[in-house]
Structures are given as structure tokens and as C-alpha cells.
A = this chain, B = another copy of it.
Amino acid sequence: MPRKPPTSSPAGSRSSPPPVSRFRLRVTRGEAIAVGPGKVALLEAVERTGSITAAAKDLGMSYRRAWLLVDEVNHALREPAVESTKGGEGGGVSRLTPTGRRMVELYRGIERTAASACKADMARLVALLARD
């Protein structure tokens, strides 16, 4: 039986993992997050797996939570991001609408543009961190 990779560093290890800098984009409306990293990851999982059930499982969240998030996104946008058909055996099928795909595409594109525009200053910021 193959050995599983360790899930945490050895207890005696003193070296910390390398710093990772990351942008998170959120579109909020008052207190509510209309578009954010969690919702975008969920839409991507729906597109990848073809159902809300499978997407929830893939992301380790409850079906109920995934359904509520999809419902929130669908109501936050002018047009729904996810369309679902009632399924027979095995449950329903869900997929992104053109609006849903456009949203994911814009969101990831913005992250890439931001990371690329700020590359030099991000490196300067990370260089201020301790090395250990």
C-alpha cells in the first residue's frame, strides 16, 4: 500500500513554508459579498463536475451550503450564473450559463492582471519578510 504524504511538517522542523502573496477580489454590496473567491471556486467546480452535489463534494462543503451560495449568485447577477435541470437517477445536472462563464472569466482575468501589474512591488513586499 502506498504511503500517504505527510499532511503537516515534521514536529522538529524549524523552517516555515515560503511566503505566498495572493490577491482576493470581492464585489460587495453593503454587508453582502456578491462575488468573491468562494463563489467563483464553486462556479468553477459546477462547470467541472456538472452538478451542485458533485461540486459541493469536491470542495468539501455541504450540499445545502453550495445550493445557497449558487442561489445567492443567481440573484446577485442580472441573469443566473447556473442553470439546473431536474435529474432522474443520480440527481440533477447543472452548468454555467454564458453569464456565469463570463463572470468566472472576468474574475480570474482580473486576478491575473493584478498579479502581473504588481509583480515587482509584491517581490519587494515579500523581501521585507524574515527568512526563517
Q: A106-B124, A125-B103 are in contact. Are A29 and B18 (CB under 8 A)?
A: yes
Copies in the complex: 2
- Who on chain B is nearest to A75 by CB? B130
Q: How many residues on A have C-beta within 8 angstroms of the other chain's C-beta atoms?
A: 44
Main SS of chain A's interface residues? mixed
Q: A102-128, CB under 8 A of B: which get 1 and which 0?
A: 110011011001101110011011101
Interface flag for A30 (CB, 8 Å):
yes
Which residue numbers of A lie inside 8 Å of B, CB to CB?
A: 9, 16-30, 32, 34-35, 75-78, 99, 102-103, 106-107, 109-110, 113-114, 116-118, 121-122, 124-126, 128-131
